[in-house]
Structure 1
C-alpha cells in the first residue's frame, strides 16, 4: 500500500513540475485588452519580442493582439482567407514573389487606423511579407531553418 501511495505522489509531483508555467500579465495589459476586446474568448497570453501577445477568438475568428508592458496597444491580427486579400496585395505578391504560394494570410489593424496584410509565403524560401492595403511591400522576413523569422531581408 505504501508503494502505491508513494508512486501516486511521485506521479503527481512530476505532473506538477512538467506543467507549463503560466505567464503573469500586468493588470495594465489585461485592462487594456479587455477594454478593446470585452467579448474575447479562449484567451492565451505569451511574450513576443518583449511585449505581451494575447491569442483569442472573437466572433468565431482567430485573432491576436499585442500590447506593451504598460498596456499600450500595438497591433491586432485577424486570420483571413487568401481570397479576402485585396487585389493590389495579390498583384504585388505575383510580381515580387512569382514562384511563391500563399500559406497563410492575416489582416493587421494598427493604432494609426491603417490596415496592412501579412502573408506567409512558401517557395524556394519560406518567408513572411507585410503589404499595405494598396499592395506596397513594407517588409519581408526570410525564415531560417528553425522557422523563427529572425532574418530580416528588407
Structure 2
C-alpha cells in the first residue's frame, strides 16, 4: 500500500508540473519551492531503503512521472542529427543551483567534423520564445504569426507521440 501512495503522489506531482509531457521546451522548467520540496520528499521516500521497489516499478515510475527530468538537480541532454553536409548537435545544460548557467546550445559540423556554426541560448531566450510561440490562452504578440509561418516553412510540425 505504501508503494501505491508514493507512486500516486509522484504521478500527481508530475502531471501538475509537466502538463503535456517531457521536454516541452529545450530546457526543463524550474519548479517553485513547494513543488521542488514535494519532489525531493518523494525521491527520499522512494529510495529509502534503496531496494524497496522492484525493477519494473522503477521503470514505471520513470516513464510515468518523468522523474528523469522533473525536479532534478542537474540535467545534461545531447541529441544529434546527421545532415547531408555534416551533422547538428543540440545540447541542454541545466543545474538547479545555478539558474544563470542554464542553456541550450546548437552546433553544426561539416562533413569533416569542423564547427561551422554555434548558437547558445540562455533560459530567458528559450522561455521568451516558448511563451511567444505557444501562448496559453492569450493572443500571440505582434509579429509572431510571421515567425510561426517561417518555422512551418522550414520544418514540419513533429511532436513526440
TM-score, length-normalised on structure 1?
0.24
Q: Kindly indicate whether structure 1 or structure 2 has the higher relative contact order, using CA contacts under 8 Å at least 6 residues apart.
A: 2
Decide which structure has greater strand share: 1
- Whose Rg is larger? 1
Decide which structure has greater helix share: 2
TM-score, length-normalised on structure 2?
0.23
